[in-house]
Amino acid sequence: MTPSTKDSREAEICARLAQLEPLHIEIIDESHKHAGHAGARGGGGHYVLHIVSARFAGNNTVARHRMIYSALGDMMKREIHALTIQASAPDEN
């Protein structure tokens, strides 16, 4: 993946997650750790996501992950091969 592809992919992730009104968002690209992995060969990246949103209040982990996957949509089929998620509400930090 070229630097511009990396930057544009992370920008697209942020743009799609904007609907969750995050107070904090951090995306860590760990694709380099998975070189040679089947998903990496297909072009999908490996990311760690830290996101804080009031929308997560009152929702369990599974519901929070579903909200994120829904926001990312088809990126989960192509651009994102693996996503580690830490999703919290503001009062949980």
User: What confidence tens digit (pLDDT) does each residue in 35-76 have?
Assistant: 665 545 556 788 999 999 999 999 999 999 999 999 999 999
User: What confidence tens digit (pLDDT) does each residue in 10-20 have?
Assistant: 999 999 999 99
Number of structural domains found in the chain? 1
Read off the pTM.
0.84
CATH number for 48: 3.30.300.90
Q: Alpha carbon of 15 to those of 24, 36, 42, 72, 93: distances in Å?
A: 13, 29, 23, 9, 23
Is the distance from CB of 29 to CB of 46 less than 8 angstroms? yes
The domain in which residue 34 lies consists of: 3-92
